[in-house]
Structure 1
Amino acid sequence: MNQNWGEDKAEKVYDPEDRNHNHDNGKLKDVGELSVERLFEDQEVPSWRKQLTVRAFVVSFVLSILFCFIVMKLNLTTGIIPSLNVSAGLLGFFFVNTWTKLLGKSGLLKQPFTRQENTVIQTCVVASSGIAFSGGFGSYLFGMSEDIAKQSSNTHDFKNPSLVWMIGFLFVVSFLGLFSVVPLRKIMVIDFKLTYPSGTATALLINSFHTPKGAKLAKKQGRELGKFFTFSFLWGFFQWFYTAGDDCGFASFPSLGLKAYKYKFYFDFSATYVGVGMICPYIINISVLLGGILSWGLMWPLIEKRKGDWYSAKLSDSNLHGIQGYRVFTAIAMILGDGLYNFLKVLGRTIIGLSYQFKHKDVSSDHPTADHSSQVNSEVSYDDSRRTQLFLKDQIPAWFAIGGYVAIAAISIAILPHIFHQLKWYYILVIYIFAPTLAFCNAYGCGLTDWSLASTYGKLAIFTIGAWAGASHGGVLAGLAACGVMMNIVSTASDLMQDFKTGYLTLASPRSMFVSQVIGTAMGCVISPCVFWLFYKAFELGVPGSQYPAPYAVVYRNMALLGVDGFSSLPHNCLKLCYGVFAAAILINLIRDLVDKRWARFIPFPMAMAIPFYLGSYFAIDMCLGSLILFVWEKINKAKANAFGPAVASGLICGDGIWTLPASILALAGVKPPICMKFLSRGRNAKVDKFLGN
């Protein structure tokens, strides 16, 4: 899970308290009692080369395209991205298992499908779709564009997207994070025994798939996923027919009334966000709705009454010196307050954890040697010893990691200033000197809490490099580009360590994990820009009120402006409001950490509350409906809801996400929907009828 709900990758919109205490620990206890490795004792573990099969990467490539479309759509709509690890693991198992069964019946099967190969697929897909997030297509990278620049006071510093430079940029910055933490894999996974809850949960899922009972359940889950995938895809197709103009179609249905619709309170019939709501914890969905009520239900109507006093009455609603400035900058203040608090919290836990590890380090006693005849060794110690033995078997030399980092850093320092002339070589050198330390901190903190602070480190780069460059030397673009460099390093570092944990628990070789991550990252560096380019050419991106408003692009650009220009660009009284919201975000987090866990689960997350400040509450209503469906389902049959809820949610997200591919092709071909379905008030409808009658 990432601390920044709406910004950070994959997967990861989960409550760490719920994950750690309600799920993982219980599962780990069961693993200890049943001994997973005893179940697979008769199965030979394939060598690391045999784990990297052609079919695994073919399936990974297909799934990477699917997941890149999903993540891109989420990036450009609200920025809330749930964990897709479960979907990746399930779909990978379903596809390859079907493949091997068909080959088995024809007598052509040469190699059975193993959990190690399943882990390789999951790693490759998550690495690839992760680039769709860390590539900044919905945040810093698109924030450089002219379309977003027009919405700010700084309209001359921009760089429009281009397929060539985007792919080149991602290739020179996306691999450094992998090399920066490779030498630390033994320390993190074995010596420190970090939990990495997402990696552990994924490993438990994959291990269960490859038992007879788990395979049977996975087949049923795959059937449910396919059913709701089809429904979601067809529903998206059906809605398309009614969207022939602005504010047309089911997405503009004023389900709660016209007044509520004006203030962004309505259900927009999005299967994607109903599915996201089923995956997200209840408190996240409630937090988003609460943020929408506070902002669009209370704050913005009150500020609108100050029109002509706090801001000019002549300004449009989309002008940053008007009401839009209050919406954007208060959201930024809440995001920064939440980010600062959690950065200090995770950094503190990292320092305390490290000091404890070094004081009490006794590796020899932590990993007893497996002894089948010994009555002293428990089943858990057998699992640990077997996993440790295989994890240490295929070493990745330290010289390879260090040499790779230095070589890629040198290439990057040489190439990046040609892509962004505002980003000087010495800015990049300073980033790369500090990046391994920050990557380690992020990977370690993620192992403790499951919180990746990639976007927080990215914001740190925005402010430091932006202020260093200054307004006269393109500080806005320099800050945004530096954000991309930093985010890609720390994000891929924590992802790789999560994968090492998954591989450790499934007996997948560290070498196969590393190779899979590298190949997945390379796929993502090509697939993600191509998918974004399709959206960019087919749809209107970044415009308030459009189908794809890209809210975080505006937020990130205005963060860069704050870093360069200070607070001079803020509307009247906006700074006071920002101070209050910033302090409130810190206070809410502090209260949640201080109160008993029984009550902490009812306290909202400021990061989730901040998202609707700019966008509105329409997607929050979708998400809350998803929560309600899951809640009722759990009351009727909790076992079925737990087993099939994630599959149903994944089907809804995947079907609606993949519909954007044919929708993009239709838009590029100039094929327009035949009908505009609009909803008008009685008075306006009478005027329309009168006009048409004349």
Structure 2
Amino acid sequence: MARNSSEERERMEFDDEGITTNRDDGGGGRIMVEKVFKDTEVPPWTKQITIRSMVTSFLLSIIFNFIVCKLNLTTGVIPSLNVAAGLLGFAVVRGYTTLLERCGLLKQPFTRQENTVIQTCVVASSGVAFSSGTASYLLGMSPIVAGQGDGINTPINVKRLSLGWMIGFLFVVSFVGLFSIVPLRKMMILKYKLTYPSGTATAYLINSFHTPKGAKLAKKQVAVLFKSFCFSFVFAFFQWFYAASDGCGFSSFPTFGLQAYQHRFYFDFSSTYVGVGMICPYMVNISLLIGAVISWGIMWPLIEHKKGDWYSAELKDSSLHGIQGYRVFIAIAMMLGDGLFHVVYMLIKTASSLAALKSKKNQSSSSVIAADQSDSEIENYDEKRRTEFFLSDQIPVWIALLGYGILAAISIIVVPFIFHQLKWYHILVAYAIAPVLAFCNAYGCGLTDWSLASNYGKVAIIIFSSWVGLENGGVIAGLASCGVMMSIVSTASDLMQDFKTGYLTLASPRSMFFSQVFGTAMGCLMSPLIFWFFYKAYSVGDPDGSYPAPYGSLYRGIALLGVEGINSLPKNCVKLAVIFFCVAIALNMLSELLKCHETKYRIYRFVPSPMCMAIPFYLGGYFAIDMCVGSLILFLWQMKNKQNANDYAPAVASGLICGDSLWGIPAAILSLAGVKAPICMKFVPASQAQG
């Protein structure tokens, strides 16, 4: 997601051609965006949700669900797709309405509110694709991932994946979070004036599209996106001809030599991750590469020399009691350290922020009348207009509370039928504490743009798996409770982001809520179906396959820690895990301390992210190299023409991701039909080739 700094936001103002650098005179330097749209009628919420917006959302949701599913099943690194959703939604409907307008058949013009509805639906649907757990906690229940645990795959701790119960589970748990945060929307948006950077940036993007200058730029961006999409799709098709079996093709090209290839250091020609690298911040990609060098370049070769001493030499590489145990549990330790720090830090920051607001309110209580009068005099046009429309279509609090109670009750009844390892009182406890965590996550997301849903999910795994115990199916109970908690906490912060976007584009809170509901429903249906498509066509969950789905093993490993403790881990694995757990906390503390003492050079930007470093510990460095290539392309582009790069790099990256990811559809169909590529391009040592 493209973000603007606060300094840049202060200087932006729309005129009748687009964005200029002027300020208004009466609002204390505040932005006057709504004056551009003062002559544009804002449709009622019932006309913001149109048939064409729903059809467009449905089609784009299919595309974005495929993209997110493929990213989940490969490395789990997923960039923000808000820009692509907003841009494609604008392009599709604007093209459709322009054609109708020329034919004299256009009945309702395309508004920014309708654009916001489309973007909300698509992002909500693709958000479910991430939080649904098809590539993480649900896959961790499967026999494929459980079979890698050497004896831990007891029947009560394994659940065969089935399309029916997966869809049912998602429909039962995914809507509860929407009602948990609705009563707090006015407090978050109007009283606390939380920023919600992603929601704000998306609103600026949509507002810009609907000005003359912004529409021209959007048209050029769509053209660039289409070109990069075609290139990526054709290149993926070309690569398929050389990949007749595993280990063949460009994706197995030993770029840095065969020895480096054996340690998973190579460039695999993935357009998807080159595009992801262009969207992600530089330090994310560098952190991935640092993690790959530390693990696969240094640690794993050293530990492999201890085979027969630290762990049995007879174990397979995929065994959690062998080298795989070090890979999985050290990565988990770093993730838990990073997650624990951010959860505690966010709770402290939320509490201190609320205390500061309360103190400020108490100090100014004696001059409330004068302050209100003064504020009303200087309050700019934007805030008045936005507040008016934000308060016009209210969602009654009693409906939100009743909806949460009814959906929670249904979930408490139904979930134990799907997962008999969980009892009704486990679900009751989860729903009792979830609203508090949802508030903390939504508030923290408003301050920092961080959603800690997956971290709360990991904490839930440990708590509920240890509560239920190994003999009673604690692994499945922990993973299922992760789904319950993640769904509530994630959808709550996503909805509040959408409310912020709607506030800034004058979209009705009701249209935002119902478009979120519609998008969530699409995600609950599409996400399992698309995952099932890949699951049947490929060896999903195989660490050495094309779709290793790393979070399946990592989340199951967290559940095993909850039910078994640390006694089952290989020798010295606990010591190494504790060290890297502490390193993760130390790096986060260092980053926050440097932010507190911010210097001219903003040194905190160069502190690597522990969460990003942890992912290559399990997978290797090949995708980190792809993403660093994307960063290098962006860096050189910005050196040559920074404005051009800022305008078109997100479109190029989105096209690369879309084209390569969508090739997965025909590739999976060919695989299901038993059609193999005609050529196997493989690389072997010279001695073996001569023999």
Q: Specify whether residues 127 and 24 from structure 1 end up closer, same or farther in structure 2 by C-alpha distance, changes over 3 A only.
A: farther
Q: Specify whether residues 326 and 366 from structure 1 end up closer, same or farther in structure 2 by C-alpha distance, changes over 3 A only.
A: farther
Q: How does 1:606-685 map to 2 (within 5 A)?
A: 606-685=610-689
User: CA contact under 8 A between 2:256 and 2:266: conserved in structure 1?
Assistant: yes
**Aligned letter for 1:163?**
L
Q: Which residue of 1 aligns with 2:175?
A: 175
Question: Take 2:116 and 2:463, find their aligned partners in 1: how far apart are those partners?
Answer: 38
Question: Take 1:50 and 1:106, find their aligned partners in 2: how far apart are those partners?
Answer: 22
Q: Specify whether residues 291 and 138 from structure 1 end up closer, same or farther in structure 2 by C-alpha distance, changes over 3 A only.
A: same
Q: Secondary structure at the match of 1:395?
A: coil
**Aligned letter for 1:452?**
S
Residue 26 of structure 1, CA deviation: 5.9
Tell me how large the CA RMSD over aligned residues is.
1.7
User: CA contact under 8 A between 1:285 and 1:627: conserved in structure 2?
Assistant: yes
Question: Take 2:375 and 2:107, find their aligned partners in 1: how far apart are those partners?
Answer: 32
Among candidates 85, 88, 91, match of residue 88 of structure 1: 85
User: CA contact under 8 A between 1:551 and 1:615: conserved in structure 2?
Assistant: yes
Question: Take 1:212 and 1:318, find their aligned partners in 2: how far apart are those partners?
Answer: 57
Alignment of 1:420 onto 2:424: no
Question: Take 1:198 and 1:413, find their aligned partners in 2: how far apart are those partners?
Answer: 33
Q: Which residue of 2 aligns with 1:121?
A: 118
Question: Take 1:393 and 1:496, find their aligned partners in 2: how far apart are those partners?
Answer: 18
**Aligned letter for 2:524?**
C
Q: How does 1:323-402 map to 2 (within 5 A)?
A: 323-361=323-361, 376-377=377-378, 381-402=380-401
User: CA contact under 8 A between 1:59 and 1:121: conserved in structure 2?
Assistant: yes
Residue 364 of structure 1, CA deviation: 8.2
Question: Take 1:309 and 1:353, find their aligned partners in 2: how far apart are those partners?
Answer: 52
In structure 1, the gaps of 5 or more residues are 1-11, 688-694
Residue 627 of structure 1, CA deviation: 0.4
**Aligned letter for 2:182?**
V
Q: Specify whether residues 625 and 675 from structure 1 end up closer, same or farther in structure 2 by C-alpha distance, changes over 3 A only.
A: same
User: CA contact under 8 A between 2:267 and 2:626: conserved in structure 1?
Assistant: yes
Question: Take 1:428 and 1:163, find their aligned partners in 2: how far apart are those partners?
Answer: 22
Q: Specify whether residues 533 and 358 from structure 1 end up closer, same or farther in structure 2 by C-alpha distance, changes over 3 A only.
A: same
Residue 24 of structure 1, CA deviation: 5.4
**Aligned letter for 2:674?**
G
Q: Which residue of 2 aligns with 1:231?
A: 231
Alignment of 1:137 onto 2:134: yes
Q: Which residue of 2 aligns with 1:110?
A: 107
User: CA contact under 8 A between 2:12 and 2:31: conserved in structure 1?
Assistant: no
Question: Take 2:608 and 2:22, find their aligned partners in 1: how far apart are those partners?
Answer: 31
Q: Which residue of 2 aligns with 1:186?
A: 186
Question: Take 1:287 and 1:25, find their aligned partners in 2: how far apart are those partners?
Answer: 32
**Aligned letter for 2:527?**
S
**Aligned letter for 1:285?**
N
Q: Which residue of 2 aligns with 1:3?
A: none
Q: Which residue of 1 aligns with 2:537?
A: 538
Residue 22 of structure 1, CA deviation: 7.2
Q: Secondary structure at the match of 2:527?
A: helix
Q: Which residue of 2 aligns with 1:322?
A: 322
Question: Take 2:443 and 2:425, find their aligned partners in 1: how far apart are those partners?
Answer: 28
Q: Specify whether residues 19 and 377 from structure 1 end up closer, same or farther in structure 2 by C-alpha distance, changes over 3 A only.
A: closer
Question: Take 1:500 and 1:30, find their aligned partners in 2: how far apart are those partners?
Answer: 27
Among candidates 142, 153, 156, match of residue 155 of structure 1: 153
- The C-alpha deviation readout for 1:265-313, integer Å capped at 9, x for no partner, is 1000000000000001111100000000000111111111111111111
Q: Specify whether residues 211 and 616 from structure 1 end up closer, same or farther in structure 2 by C-alpha distance, changes over 3 A only.
A: same
Question: Take 2:435 and 2:487, find their aligned partners in 1: how far apart are those partners?
Answer: 12
**Aligned letter for 2:49?**
L
Question: Take 2:9 and 2:350, find their aligned partners in 1: how far apart are those partners?
Answer: 21
Q: Specify whether residues 209 and 19 from structure 1 end up closer, same or farther in structure 2 by C-alpha distance, changes over 3 A only.
A: closer
- The C-alpha deviation readout for 1:614-660, integer Å capped at 9, x for no partner, is 00000000000000000000010001000000000000001111111
TM-score norm. by structure 2 comes to: 0.94
- The C-alpha deviation readout for 1:193-230, integer Å capped at 9, x for no partner, is 00000000000000000000000000000000000011
**Aligned letter for 2:680?**
C
**Aligned letter for 2:195?**
T
Q: Specify whether residues 634 and 364 from structure 1 end up closer, same or farther in structure 2 by C-alpha distance, changes over 3 A only.
A: farther
Among candidates 37, 43, 50, match of residue 34 of structure 2: 37
User: CA contact under 8 A between 1:367 and 1:384: conserved in structure 2?
Assistant: no
TM-score norm. by structure 1 comes to: 0.94
User: CA contact under 8 A between 1:370 and 1:386: conserved in structure 2?
Assistant: no
User: CA contact under 8 A between 1:228 and 1:651: conserved in structure 2?
Assistant: yes
Q: Specify whether residues 367 and 258 from structure 1 end up closer, same or farther in structure 2 by C-alpha distance, changes over 3 A only.
A: farther
**Aligned letter for 1:412?**
S
Q: Which residue of 2 aligns with 1:277?
A: 277
| Runs of 4+ residues over 4 Å off in structure 1 | 18-34, 362-371
Residue 357 of structure 1, CA deviation: 2.2
Among candidates 58, 62, 71, match of residue 59 of structure 2: 62
Q: Specify whether residues 266 and 128 from structure 1 end up closer, same or farther in structure 2 by C-alpha distance, changes over 3 A only.
A: same
Question: Take 2:40 and 2:672, find their aligned partners in 1: how far apart are those partners?
Answer: 51
Alignment of 1:217 onto 2:214: no
Q: Specify whether residues 25 and 263 from structure 1 end up closer, same or farther in structure 2 by C-alpha distance, changes over 3 A only.
A: farther
In structure 2, the gaps of 5 or more residues are 14-20, 24-28
Q: Which residue of 2 aligns with 1:527?
A: 526
Residue 34 of structure 1, CA deviation: 5.1
Question: Take 2:571 and 2:506, find their aligned partners in 1: how far apart are those partners?
Answer: 59
Question: Take 1:613 and 1:480, find their aligned partners in 2: how far apart are those partners?
Answer: 22
Q: Specify whether residues 544 and 249 from structure 1 end up closer, same or farther in structure 2 by C-alpha distance, changes over 3 A only.
A: same
Question: Take 2:148 and 2:7, find their aligned partners in 1: how far apart are those partners?
Answer: 44
User: CA contact under 8 A between 2:591 and 2:604: conserved in structure 1?
Assistant: yes
**Aligned letter for 1:429?**
L
User: CA contact under 8 A between 1:370 and 1:382: conserved in structure 2?
Assistant: no
Q: How does 1:389-538 map to 2 (within 5 A)?
A: 389-538=388-537
User: CA contact under 8 A between 2:31 and 2:382: conserved in structure 1?
Assistant: no
Residue 358 of structure 1, CA deviation: 2.6
Q: Secondary structure at the match of 1:269?
A: coil
Q: Which residue of 2 aligns with 1:4?
A: none
Aligned residues: 666
Question: Take 2:372 and 2:56, find their aligned partners in 1: how far apart are those partners?
Answer: 36
Question: Take 2:449 and 2:274, find their aligned partners in 1: how far apart are those partners?
Answer: 24
User: CA contact under 8 A between 2:255 and 2:266: conserved in structure 1?
Assistant: yes
Q: Which residue of 1 aligns with 2:18?
A: none
Alignment of 1:602 onto 2:602: no
**Aligned letter for 2:100?**
L
- The C-alpha deviation readout for 1:47-97, integer Å capped at 9, x for no partner, is 000000000010000000000000000001000000000000000000000
**Aligned letter for 1:623?**
M
- The C-alpha deviation readout for 1:364-397, integer Å capped at 9, x for no partner, is 88887998xxxx536xx21011100110010100
Percent identity of paired positions between Structure 1 and Structure 2: 64
User: CA contact under 8 A between 1:24 and 1:201: conserved in structure 2?
Assistant: no
User: CA contact under 8 A between 2:10 and 2:30: conserved in structure 1?
Assistant: no
Q: Specify whether residues 641 and 200 from structure 1 end up closer, same or farther in structure 2 by C-alpha distance, changes over 3 A only.
A: same
Q: Which residue of 1 aligns with 2:16?
A: none
User: CA contact under 8 A between 1:140 and 1:557: conserved in structure 2?
Assistant: yes
**Aligned letter for 1:377?**
I
Q: How does 1:562-577 map to 2 (within 5 A)?
A: 562-577=561-576
**Aligned letter for 1:487?**
M
Residue 238 of structure 1, CA deviation: 0.9
Deviates more, 1:502-511 or 1:537-546: 537-546
**Aligned letter for 1:149?**
A
Q: Which residue of 2 aligns with 1:7?
A: none
Q: Secondary structure at the match of 1:627?
A: helix
Q: Which residue of 1 aligns with 2:97?
A: 100
Q: Specify whether residues 367 and 632 from structure 1 end up closer, same or farther in structure 2 by C-alpha distance, changes over 3 A only.
A: farther
Question: Take 1:367 and 1:507, find their aligned partners in 2: how far apart are those partners?
Answer: 24
